[in-house]
Amino acid sequence: MKEIQIGLIGFGTVGSGLAEVLLDQQQRLRKRTGLSIRLAKVADLRISELPSRFADVTLTRDANELFNDPNIDIIVELIGGIQPAKTFLLKAIAAGKHVITANKALISQEGWDIFAAAAAKGVEVGFEASVGGGIPVIKALKEGLVANRILSIMGIMNGTANYILTRMTDEGVPFAEVLKDAQAHGYAEADPTYDIEGIDTAHKLAILMTMSYGMRISLSDITTEGITRIEPIDIQFAREFGYRIKLLAISRNHGDHVEARVHPTMVPEDHLLASISGAFNAIHFTGDAVGNVLFYGQGAGKMPTGSAVAADVVDIARNIQAGSINRVPALSYLPEQIAGRRITPLEEVTCPYYFRITARDEPGVLAGIAGILSKHGISIESVLQKGRKESGPVSIVMRTHTAREASVRKALAEIDAMGSVTSETVKIRILGDEV
C-alpha cells in the first residue's frame, strides 16, 4: 500500500485537530483511498514534545526540515498570519511539495503568488478550511456547483460576531458586555478587531467571489462595516419589525459588475439565515440552474477545521495516486480565465433601510424628516415612535421601501443637521427580496 507522508507546520488548535483526525480515521481512510496517509513530521517553535499518542511523529523546530525531506509529499501550514506563512508555502512549493493552508487572510491577500508558483511547479494548493471551518463550501464551488452561473453569495461567515449578536438578541445584553464574556470563554480573541469589524468575513467573501465569478478581487474592493455600533435598542426594534440582525457578507452578480459588501443586516425572521445562532456559520448561494443552496455548520474549532484540512489532504493524496494533479483548478476557473470585473460602488446599491433617529419631541419634527426623505425619493414603509417624554429626546424608527444608498446618505446628512435631531442617525440595511 502506497504511503503518503504529511508535514505539518504549527501544532496549535487546528494543527492538533488535524493530527487527531488523521490518526483516529487512519483505518477508514485506508478503506476509502487504498492509501496509508501518515503524519510524519511536525514543525513548531512553541512546544517541546508531542502528545504520547503521536510517538511515531518527528517534532522539529526548523520548518526547513520538512521542505528538505524527500519523503514528505504534502505540507500543511496552520500557523496563521501573512508571514512567515507565505514564505513557508513558497519554499514548500519550490521543493515540489503540495501545500494546504487554512489561512484565509493569506489566500485572499497573497494567494495569487502562491497559486502562480504552484501552477509553475505542477503542485496543488488546498484551502478548504479557509472559509466556513468544517463546512465543505470550497469543494462545493469547485465541483458540485461548477455548472452554475452563481447569481449571489450571502452568508454568516464569522462565528464570533454571530455569537455576540445572538447573545445580544436573546438576552438583551450590550455589545461591550457580550464581547468581554466572549473573550473570557475563548469565543473571541484578545484583539477581536478582525471579527467584530467584519475584516475576517471580508477575507472569506473575497475567496468565494474569486471562485464564483472567476474574478480578481482585493480586500479594498469590499465595503466592510462591523457590529460595534449595534445596540440592544436596535435589536429590539428589529424584532418588532420581524427581523434579526446578522453580520452578512453579500455579493450579487449583475453581469458586468458585482456587489461586494460586509455589514450588519436585518434579516427577515422567516429567512433561513435568521435562525443561524451562536458560533455557527451558514453560506447561501443562488445558481442559475440549481437555485438556492445553503451550507450550514461549525465555522471554526479544533475538530471541524481539522476535518476540513484532512479533506484537502485526502483529495491531494488521491490525485497523487491517480496521477491527476490539478485536475480541478484550485480556484475553479482556469488561471488564464480569471480577470478583473467592476465592483458595484456602494452608492449604487439598492435595498430597504432601517433608520433610528434621535430627536426632541417637538411639533413638526416627523413632518420635517418625512419631507427630507421624500425629496430624495425615499419612501417610508412604517414608522414607530418610542420613549415619548415631556422633555428629552425620543427614538423615531423608520423602515423604508427599497432605496438607493447615495440618496440615503444625502437624506440622513440633512436629517442629522436638523436642530431637533440630537445624535447621528443609526442606519442598518435590510435584506430585500432580491437577494
Rounded to whole angstroms, how far apart are CA atoms 225 and 183? 21
| Residue-averaged pLDDT of the chain | 95
Among all chains, which residue has been given the C-alpha cell 446599491?
349
C-alpha cell at 121: 511547479
pLDDT value of residue 399? 96
Q: Give pLDDT, residue 388.
A: 60
Tell me 51's DSSP state. -
Q: For the chain, what is the largest distance between any 2 Cα atoms, rounded to a whole number of angstroms?
A: 84
* Residue 124 backbone zone (phi > 0: left; psi -120 to 50: alpha; other: beta): beta
236, burial (CB in 10 Å: exposed 0-12, middle 13-18, buried 19+): middle
Q: Is the pLDDT of residue 435 over 60?
A: no
The fold adopted by the segment(s) 138-298 is: Dihydrodipicolinate Reductase; domain 2 (3.30.360)
Class for the domain spanning 346-430: alpha beta
Q: For Cα atoms 106, 108, 109, give the angle at the middle one, nearest 5 degrees.
A: 65
Would you say 1 and 30 are in contact if contact means Cβ atoms under 8 Å apart? yes
| Mean pLDDT on 5-14 | 96
Nearest by Cα to 356 from 385, 379, 324, 329: 385
Q: What is the pLDDT of residue 362?
A: 87
**Residues 212/141, Cβ–Cβ less than 8 Å:** yes
What pLDDT is stored for residue 389 in this prediction? 58
- Grid-cell match 485537530, residue found: 17
Q: Give 178-183's long-range contacts (Cβ < 8 A, gap of 24+).
A: none
Map residue 92 onto helix, strand or coil: helix
Per-residue pLDDT of 21-56, as tens digits, reads 999 999 999 999 999 999 999 999 999 999 999 999
pLDDT at 182: 85
Count of CB atoms within 10 A of residue 354's CB?
Answer: 22
| Calpha distance 167→240 (Å, rounded) | 18
What is the secondary structure of 241-303 as a DSSP string?
HTEEEEEEEEEEB-SSEE--EEEEEEEETTSGGGG--TTEEEEEEEETTTEEEEEEEE-SSHH
CATH topology of domain 3-131+302-337: Rossmann fold (3.40.50)
> Is 142 one of the catalytic residues?
no
At 263 the pLDDT is 98
> Poorest-confidence range of 77-91, 126-140, 167-181, 374-388?
374-388
State yes or no: pLDDT of 434 exceeds 70. Answer: no
pLDDT digits (tens, 9 = 90+) for 363-397: 899 999 999 999 999 999 999 876 665 567 899 99
Cα separation, 317 vs 97, whole angstroms: 12
Residue ranges, comma separated, of all CATH 3.40.50.720 domains in the chain are: 3-131+302-337
pLDDT band at 131 (very low <50, low <70, confident <90, very high): very high
**Secondary structure of 178-203 in the HEC alphabet?**
HHHHHHHCCCCCCCCHHHHCCHHHHH
Q: Of 93, 111, 94, which Cα lies nearest the Cα of 102?
A: 111
| pLDDT tens digits, one per residue of 232-269 | 999 999 999 999 999 999 999 999 999 999 999 999 99
* Domain ranges in the chain with CATH number 3.30.360.10: 138-298
Q: Which residue has the cell 427614538?
A: 395
Average pLDDT for 150-159: 97
Catalytic residue from among 204, 375, 386, 389: 204
Report pLDDT digits (tens) over 302-341. 999 999 999 999 999 999 999 999 999 999 999 999 998 9
CATH 3.30.70.260 range(s) for the chain read: 346-430
Let me know the angle formed at the C-alpha of 225 by 112 and 134, rounded to the nearest 5 degrees.
55
In whole angstroms, what is the distance from residue 422 CA to residue 295 CA?
43
Tell the residue number behind the cell numbers 483505518, with chain if given. Answer: 27
| CB proximity list for 123: less than 8 A, separation 6 or greater | 93, 96, 97, 98, 99, 325
Mean pLDDT (whole number) for 176-200: 90
**Nearest-angstrom CA–CA distance, 284 and 295:** 6
Residue among 261, 264, 249 at smallest CA distance from 299: 249
The answer to whether 182 and 188 have CB atoms below 8 angstroms apart is: yes
* Cα dihedral: 232, 235, 236, 238 (round 10): 160
pLDDT above 70 for 154: yes
Percent of all residues in the chain with a pLDDT value above 70, rounded to a whole number: 98
Tell me, rounded to whole angstroms, the distance of Cα 197 from its chain centroid. Answer: 12
Q: For residue 116, how many C-alpha atoms fall within 13 Å in the half-sphere facing its CB?
A: 7
For residue 265, count other CB atoms closer than 10 A to its CB. 26
Q: Per-residue pLDDT tens for 281-304?
A: 999 999 999 999 999 999 888 999
pTM: 0.95
Q: Kindly report, residue by residue over 55-82, the tens digit of the pLDDT.
A: 999 999 999 999 999 999 999 999 999 9
